[in-house]
Homo-oligomer: A and B are copies of this chain.
Amino acid sequence: MPDRPLKPITLKELAALLELSQSTVSRIVNGEASAHRIAQETQERVLRAAAEHGYRANAVARSLRQKRTYTIGAIVPEISEGYSTAVLSGIEDEVLKEGFFYFVVSHRHRPDLLKGHLHMMLSRSVEGIVAIDTPIEEALPVPLVSVSGHNRREGVINIELDHAQAACLALTHLKSLGHKRIAYIKGQAISSDTNQRWHAITEEAGKLGMAIDAELVVQLESPEPGPGPGFEVTRQLLQRGRSFTAIFAFNDLTATGAIQALREAGLRVPRDVSVVGFDDVLIARTNNPPLTTVHQPLRSMGQTAAETLLSLIRDELPRPYPAVITMNPKLIVRKSTAHPPSAHPTDGTVTRPRGA
């Protein structure tokens, strides 16, 4: 009987059973016995009974009293999407380890949902929030850590990739292969990484003495996840008829879309056109061809975000707080990049993309 978990026993009942006060029982089960000089024997008696009856403190009641919920909120654009979930898995690691739980809400790029869900979380007394790829304008009553959100607001800590380094890695790679006419696919305007990344690219391209041809720059439009948008804009790009030997895509999914479009136009990757992705999601490795891409340590970013948030919650983070914590990208060279056709010593058959 006592081991059926179906109707949990409360502290009060347990105390009554033991003929002790709730305070004493509470102190013992919370390991504060010695701080309260409670007899060894009593402790054992209580712990034994607690185990027997499967006593587990009601977290709701505890939260009310302590004004702590040991819960944080995560807000993402879309849960069914690799980027966010990779970060989430890092968050989960950290957070569960510390006895916290987390809520997830996705806003699907709708400001009303964003605001609504945010407030729901707050009225559930989350102790902190991590926003992934989502800028938050409001001032919040709890700490906020932002992953790729580019919230330049007082008190918000941003976890970000070192975009300059990322751009440098990719561009240097392309440059060293001999590419000069490089096309760029910028991210959707709604993605908060878009501007940072683009800025870094122009900056680094400048430093490397690589001119950017405005005719070779396209931007993703459709907010739809997946490779579709990349496919579309690459078609548009090809229609412009401007020649190029490489594409630097906003992310891996876009890159795969681009590759499809190139193929449809009769171009081979990487022989005719090299493609560089971004993120290094799972499929990058298994795409055909495997994608050369800039690896973004998403899981670590999640972990770092969670760690940071937790220390903020505990008020253990030394001040002044950093505004940004940058993480290092890595270039993963696979098979989607090669020398440009003109630089192929033994092969000059296809020298430029054919416009559609």
Contact = CB atoms under 8 A, between A and B. Distances in A.
A121 B138 CA distance: 30
A112 to B, nearest CB: 12
| Centre residue among A6, A69, A79, A226 by max chain B CB count within 10 A | A79
A141 B102 contact: no
A80 B89 CA distance: 6
Interface stretch (A180-188, A281-289, A321-329): A281-289
Nearest to A54: B119
A86 B226 CA distance: 13
A132 to B, nearest CB: 13
Given A96-B117, A286-B256, A286-B257, A60 B57 contact: no
Interface in A248-266: 253, 256-257, 259-260, 263
A37 interface: no
Contact of A283 (B6, B259, B263, B283): B283
A92 B106 contact: yes
Contacts of A58: 64, 123, 125
A5 interface: yes
A60 B117 contact: no
Given A101-B103, A227-B285, 17 more contacts: A5-B140, A6-B139, A56-B123, A57-B123, A60-B124, A64-B64, A78-B89, A80-B299, A85-B85, A92-B104, A96-B105, A101-B124, A226-B286, A256-B283, A260-B286, A260-B288, A287-B288
